[in-house]
């Protein structure tokens, strides 16, 4: 599909194109501050209005619990005239919101602004001309002040890979990983752990503090090899200092004879092969599938995001990021993200092409051709290439659902 073809195609009715999201609108339920309602009650209320269902995309209860409303790819029903270019969240209450609610709101807005970087945060009363005062506080000013406070507490990952978990403490299941040099905003500290937002993709979770997090210079380059060693001297016989993997971010201070000298934490430095890195922000010259193929044989790890171990959605995210396309971290979010940036194909009518995405419930893969896919999977326990016919037969049966093939538009997004 050419850009001109895509530009002439009208969006599906009711779909909210991510490219059109320009407002992140905060509402209040305008119910008594001591009334512990949630998304279920608002759903019933909005159905009573004759609507298709709850008009908000997210609801935040009095205790800070977030509840899903409409999916992000479906236009909301919250501000007349801007529903086709906005997302919405409703705080339960009228004008006395809890700290837990506001902290939860901030986490959501951090996620949304990472996925929709051009969108403004504002209240209902500022999204359109209205007599309403909802949400009864100056949302834009509150958000600006909140961000200023948190961005002042920014740090970077000082170890090759740093685990991020849903709750603080040892032995917690891995949610995702942050890579060397990536920036983290510290949102809260608690007994040797920090609640952080990974600026690369907006993921929010807990990490262990200490020497894992340090102030480091802005990166100038990123690692493009599956993995590479940082050496003490610019020679292959030199002692290895640490091992960096694809996506790690580094500050290059000098380049000579095929070696980059890079800054390391605590005033140290080391050397990496120049061919293992490229200028930060410069897309990889190869297609996403070729990038994924560099990670062939890497072990499968649920929540992993490096050549040391990674899962299916991390493989796809890293491959797309390398080619200049920022994708969500988890496969479910990737499906919603890709659905409005793609053409869905039927393998009965059209052969899959290299680079097509293949989705099952909880799983995603990349097509290498019309006959094979590459994916990180728990069946092989590695990143593996597999005949498409074999994968379809096994995974369709395991998940109870036929695969969906999506081809990303060649328009920039």
Catalytic residues: 27, 56, 124, 132, 134
Q: How far apart are CA 413 and CA 405, in angstroms?
A: 19
DSSP state for residue 166 in the 8-state scheme: S
Nearest residue to 86 (alpha-carbon basis) of 27, 145, 144: 27
Per-residue tokens: 100? 């837990």
Q: Annotate 91-146 with DSSP letters as a single string.
A: ESSSS---HHHHHHHHHHHHHHHHHSTTPEEEEHHHHSS-S--TTSS-HHHHHHHH
What is the chain's percent helix, strand, coil content, to nearest 5? 25, 30, 45
**395 contacts 357 by C-beta, under 8 angstroms:** no
**CB of 406 closer than 8 Å to CB of 359:** yes
How many residues make up the chain in this entry?
413
Query: How many angstroms separate the CA atoms of 306 and 226, rounded?
Result: 8
Contact 272, 250 (CB under 8 A): yes
Strands 58-60 and 193-198: unpaired
């Amino acid at each position: 599909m050419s850009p001109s073809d895509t530009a002439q195609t009208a969006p599906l009715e009711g779909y909210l194109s991510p490219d059109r999201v320009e407002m992140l609108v905060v509402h209040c339920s305008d119910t008594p501050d001591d009334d512990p309602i949630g998304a279920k009650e608002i759903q019933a209320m909005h159905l009573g209005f004759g609507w298709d269902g709850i008009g908000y995309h997210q609801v935040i209860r009095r205790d800070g619990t977030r509840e899903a409303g409409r999916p992000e790819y479906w236009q909301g029903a919250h501000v007349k005239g801007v529903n086709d270019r906005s997302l919405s969240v409703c705080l339960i209450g009228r004008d006395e919101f809890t700290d837990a609610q506001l902290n939860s709101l901030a986490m959501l807005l951090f996620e949304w602004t990472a996925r929709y970087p051009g969108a403004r945060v504002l209240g209902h009363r500022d999204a359109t001309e209205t007599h309403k005062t909802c949400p009864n506080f100056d949302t834009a000013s509150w958000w600006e002040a909140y961000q200023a406070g948190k961005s002042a507490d920014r740090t970077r990952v000082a170890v090759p890979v740093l685990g991020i978990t849903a709750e603080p403490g040892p032995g917690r299941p891995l949610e995702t990983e942050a890579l060397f040099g990536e920036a983290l905003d510290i949102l809260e500290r608690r007994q040797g752990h920090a609640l952080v937002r990974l600026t690369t993709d907006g993921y929010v979770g807990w990490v262990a503090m200490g020497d894992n997090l340090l102030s480091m210079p802005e990166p100038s380059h990123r690692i493009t090899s599956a993995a590479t060693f940082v050496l003490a001297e610019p020679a292959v016989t030199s002692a290895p200092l640490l091992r960096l993997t694809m996506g790690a971010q580094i500050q290059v201070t000098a380049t000579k004879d095929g070696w980059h000298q890079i800054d390391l934490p605590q005033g140290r430095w080391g050397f990496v092969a120049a061919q293992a890195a490229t200028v930060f922000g410069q897309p990889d010259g190869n297609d996403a599938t070729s990038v994924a193929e560099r990670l062939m044989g890497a072990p499968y790890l649920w929540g992993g995001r490096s050549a040391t171990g990674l899962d299916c959605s991390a493989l796809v995210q890293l491959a797309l990021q390398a080619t200049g396309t920022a994708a969500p971290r988890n496969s479910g979010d990737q499906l919603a993200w890709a659905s409005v940036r793609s053409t869905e194909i039927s393998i009965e009518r059209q052969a899959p092409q290299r680079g097509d995405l293949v989705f099952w419930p909880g799983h995603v893969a990349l097509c290498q051709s019309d006959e094979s896919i590459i994916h990180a999977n728990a069946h092989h326990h590695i990143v593996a290439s597999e005949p498409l016919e074999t994968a379809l037969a096994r995974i369709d049966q395991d998940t109870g659902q036929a695969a969906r093939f999506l081809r990303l538009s060649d328009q920039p997004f």
